[in-house]
Each structure stands twice: as structure tokens, then as C-alpha cells.
């Protein structure tokens, strides 16, 4: 199950992403918004972040005007690794190396076609594990306040 959320700035991308998910039979839960009317992106960031960190959804996708604000808000929730993606390489590498669990994109930055392309890459790229497990664990330790750079 994929958690979806956007504000008005990312609504156009989310319409295209939902069409892609429908066409591919990929299950999702839509946390809004449901129009291009102005709303506050932290609301949708929080809903999707909680859905992912609770285990209700395996991964999340968030869109706003730039992808940045909604990523910043989502990353405040413990356990979230939300990445702003503007290219195909980033979509792949943030899954492989950063073990990102939320993909963030900007409706005023990239096209709907690219958003669908990056979504496809993100959802079909596994976490690489290995040496990256250790680095992701270090990021989590920073979040937990237990990080020791000499450990």
C-alpha cells in the first residue's frame, strides 16, 4: 500500500501519479488534498508520514510546489526518510543508498511525465543494504540523539 499526499502546488502531479498507479494495479491510500484549492502542506506531510511510520503503508509519495516544504515537514516525523527528487538518478539512488521511504516532488519544478517516471523508478528500486544499512542507521541515531561519530 502506497500513501499519497499533496497540496495544491503538487495536485497536478498527484492526478498523474494516481492514474499510473491505477493502470498498474498498485494499491494506494489517498490522504488528500483533492483539488487545486490552496491548503497547508504540513497537514498532508503529517498524514502520509504517520501512515508510513505506523506500517499502514510501505512507502509514501508527497507532492507540493517544490517538493521541499512537504519533505521538510515529513522528515520531522521519526522514522521518515523523505527525499526530494528532480531526476531519474536521484529516484533510484535515494532508494538504493538512503533507503528513502517517501518520495517528494514539486509540481512547479518537474513535469507530470517525469513525476510518473520517477515514481515508477522509486517503487521498483530495492534498498541496497550492505554498507548503506550502517549509514542509514547512523542517520537514525542522529534522529534518536544517540549518534556517536567515534563509535
Give the total of residues touching ligand RB5 (CB under 6 A): 8
Residue 125 to residue 48: CA distance in whole angstroms: 20
Smallest distance from the beta carbon of 43 to ligand RB5, in angstroms?
Answer: 12
Taking CB under 6 A as the rule, which mask of x and - marks residues 22-51 in contact with ligand RB5? -------------------x----------
Nearest residue to ligand RB5 on Cβ basis? 69
Residue 79 to residue 90: CA distance in whole angstroms: 20
Helices of type H across the chain: 11-23, 41-53, 68-74, 88-96, 112-123, 131-144
Q: Of 2 and 45, which CB lies nearer to ligand RB5 in the complex structure?
A: 45
Residue 10 to residue 119: CA distance in whole angstroms: 14
| Residue 98 interacting with ligand RB5 (CB under 6 A) | no
Residues 6+ apart with CB under 8 A from 3: 28, 29, 31, 47, 48, 51, 52, 56, 57, 59, 60, 61, 102
Taking CB under 6 A as the rule, which mask of x and - marks residues 54-93 in contact with ligand RB5? ----------xxx-xx------------------------
* Residues within the interface to ligand RB5 (CB under 6 A): 7, 9, 41, 64-66, 68-69
Q: Which residues are catalytic?
A: 64, 97
Amino acid at each position: 500500500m502506497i500513501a499519497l499526499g499533496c497540496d495544491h502546488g503538487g495536485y497536478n502531479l498527484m492526478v498523474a501519479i494516481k492514474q499510473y498507479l491505477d493502470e498498474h494495479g498498485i494499491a494506494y491510500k489517498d490522504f488528500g488534498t483533492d483539488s487545486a484549492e490552496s491548503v497547508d502542506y504540513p497537514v498532508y506531510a503529517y498524514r502520509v508520514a504517520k501512515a508510513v511510520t505506523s506500517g499502514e503503508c510501505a512507502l509514501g509519495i508527497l507532492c507540493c510546489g517544490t517538493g521541499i516544504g512537504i519533505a521538510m515537514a515529513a522528515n520531522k516525523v521519526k522514522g521518515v526518510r523523505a527525499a526530494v527528487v528532480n531526476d531519474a538518478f536521484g529516484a533510484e539512488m535515494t532508494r538504493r543508498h538512503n533507503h528513502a521511504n517517501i518520495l517528494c516532488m514539486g509540481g512547479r519544478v518537474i513535469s507530470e511525465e517525469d513525476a510518473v517516471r520517477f515514481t515508477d523508478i522509486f517503487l521498483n528500486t530495492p534498498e541496497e543494504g550492505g554498507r548503506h544499512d550502517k549509514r542509514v542507521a547512523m542517520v537514525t541515531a542522529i534522529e534518536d540523539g544517540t549518534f556517536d561519530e567515534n563509535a
